[in-house]
A and B are shown apart, each in its own frame.
Chain A
Amino acid sequence: MPPVTATLIWILVALVVIGLYLSWTAGRLDRLHARIDAARAALDAQLLRRASVAQELATSGVLDPAASIVLYEAAHAARQAVEEQREVAESELSQALRAVFAEAQQVDAVREAPGGEEAALELAEAVRRVPMARRFHNDAVRAARALRRHRKVRWFRLAGHAPFPMAFEMDDEPPAALTGRAA
């Protein structure tokens, strides 16, 4: 076999190995993007659920008028916010919830109202799940960003046209009276 052919074969083998490695990395990245999409969908669902329960409570007449207006306003703004305003609006809803349910008595009052037990439970669940969903989302974002910053991904444009993933930053501290546990 002439030496040129051997060299060519080796170059070919090297190219195939590099190609396999890159395709494997692209597969990893693809999976990470799918994970971010799923996590983001879950986060949206939890945020929407929280806003709906808050709005229901605000219009139910269980709370005093001032608290109702504050809560309604915040829940409405969170639901209607455009993408760029979303983080701020959701943080404000967290603050409103903390202000309204600052005291355990307020939570007890809601529980005593007809159907209030369920509403309080739903709200407690929602304010617990929002931070969870957000943490999972941002964890996926971090993993994807770490991989996308890598040379091999940037040079070979393995990420394609997928937008650079952004973390969702907001104040999601739940009202202490509602969760009854340390965060």
Chain B
Amino acid sequence: MRIGIVCPYSWDVPGGVQFHIRDLAEYFIRLGHEVSVLAPADDDTPLPPYVVSAGRAVPVPYNGSVARLNFGFLSAARVRRWLHEGAFDVIHIHEPTSPSLGLLTCWAAEGPIVATFHTSNPRSRAMIAAYAILQAALEKISARIAVSEYARRTLVEHLGGDAVVIPNGVDVDFFAGAEPNPEWQGDTIGFIGRIDEPRKGLPVLMKALPKILAARPRTRLLVAGRGDEKEAVESLPRELHARVEFLGMISDEDKARFLRSVDLYVAPNTGGESFGIILVEAMSAGAPVLASDLDAFAQVLDRGAAGELFPNEDADALAEAAVRLLEDPERRAKLREHGSAHVRRFDWSTVGADILSVYETVTAGAAAVAADDRTTGLRARFGLARD
């Protein structure tokens, strides 16, 4: 099958959607499909052979922050050429509502289009104003995929219609087979995420830490991620600073080893998560998980069966649960066991097969993808008017 995938965000910048697309493309290539990914990228960044650059993304203020987007005449022409040269059986657009390549492709293409909705953003003002325009482009999508039941619910509320739920994929065996690092073992709590991004919840964990250390003084907190380390420990009493170790940014291999090693993985995120891939990675590596009870997390953790949940932003509850888990090896072993069985559904072998099923379902009754000439040239429109 010839598959075209559209990535809305810059390939140079690491991010969840980009990793998802990379893994998905490589999974399909291993199965013998032909895959081409259209993504914004600087002209001088080295790209894998299956990625086609759509040009540099332009930073513009959008939705309260500066987003790097692709739009305008040149980008539209590149999209059109990619569609024309690719002659795809199906195209898979990620994040079609962001005003970037996804939307442009929706506009320019005709034929079986699959779209994945990753984020569950609250409806933006621009989206309400542009609803009619958006709807005309989104109408072309033959199959919608939401990454979680939560993302599906927001999608249904904001745009109407329906979607199938297919979670993000994880290479479970990569994490399950990693070698633990003895340095990171022995009464350790792990945290991965941007230090200076409050949404990731490190401040909540820092607030809970004194209580955890009071009950179990030998505990160490290991933090992996970018950000200002001094600022992060500021709220902590001076004598406890030594119990926190910062590892900085870590590689994929080290991340797997990190998750294999820690006794407890804590995800204190306070909001804005639509899936929670890190929890799946932690469970794959066999780390017992303690997470805030966000909708998306609760779903990934099987309503608390595959990992423990604590009330969001409640540092006392976090401390209490962490101490209880650290003191109960049997419970942790049980969580490990349940987690390892539970994550199989997130493995690429399952997720990839499901996505392929979607492709096959939409291509079953339809012709291949083509550039949609009907809605572009004025002449074509007059031709249609005469019909």
Give the A-B contact count at a CB cut-off of 8 A.
Answer: 88
- In the complex the two chains form, is B139's CB within 8 Å of A143's CB? yes
Interface centre among B163, B361, B364, B375 (most CB of A within 10 A): B361
**Contact (A132, B358) CB under 8 Å given A139-B161, A139-B162, A180-B345:** yes
- In the complex the two chains form, is B365's CB within 8 Å of A45's CB? yes
- In the complex the two chains form, is B381's CB within 8 Å of A24's CB? yes
> Closest A-chain residue to B378, C-beta based?
A20
- In the complex the two chains form, is B142's CB within 8 Å of A38's CB? yes
Write out, one digit per residue, whether chain B residues 354-367 have a CB within 8 A of any chain A CB (1) or not (0). Answer: 10011011101110
- Chain B residues contacting A24 (CB-CB under 8 Å) are 375, 381
- Chain B residues contacting A46 (CB-CB under 8 Å) are 361, 364
Instruction: Tell me the minimal C-beta distance from B114 to chain A in angstroms.
Output: 9
- In the complex the two chains form, is B140's CB within 8 Å of A41's CB? no
Write out, one digit per residue, whether chain A residues 40-51 have a CB within 8 A of any chain B CB (1) or not (0). Answer: 111001100000
Contact of A128 among B136, B163, B357, B381 (CB under 8 A): B357
- Chain B residues contacting A138 (CB-CB under 8 Å) are 162
Contacts A31-B110, A42-B364, A128-B357 known; list 15 others, CB within 8 Å: A28-B139, A37-B365, A38-B142, A39-B362, A45-B364, A45-B365, A132-B164, A132-B358, A135-B164, A136-B142, A136-B144, A139-B162, A143-B135, A143-B160, A180-B345
Instruction: Tell me the minimal C-beta distance from B280 to chain A in angstroms.
Output: 13
Which of B146-172 touch A at CB < 8 Å? 160-165
Interface centre among B112, B135, B302, B362 (most CB of A within 10 A): B362
Q: Which residues of B contact A (CB under 8 A)?
A: 110, 112, 135-136, 139-140, 142-144, 160-165, 302, 345, 350, 354, 357-358, 360-362, 364-366, 374-375, 381, 384-385
**Contact (A39, B365) CB under 8 Å given A131-B164, A140-B142:** yes
- Chain A residues contacting B364 (CB-CB under 8 Å) are 41-42, 45-46
- In the complex the two chains form, is B140's CB within 8 Å of A136's CB? no
Q: Is the CB of A35 closer than 8 A to any CB of chain B?
A: yes
Instruction: Tell me the minimal C-beta distance from A176 to chain B in angstroms.
Output: 12
Contact of B162 among A27, A31, A125, A142 (CB under 8 A): A142
**Contact (A146, B160) CB under 8 Å given A42-B361, A181-B345, A181-B350:** yes
Instruction: Tell me the minimal C-beta distance from A70 to chain B in angstroms.
Output: 27
Q: Is the CB of A182 closer than 8 A to any CB of chain B?
A: yes
Instruction: Tell me the minimal C-beta distance from A33 to chain B in angstroms.
Output: 11
- Chain A residues contacting B375 (CB-CB under 8 Å) are 24, 27
Instruction: Tell me the minimal C-beta distance from A180 to chain B in angstroms.
Output: 7
Which of A88-126 touch B at CB < 8 Å? 125
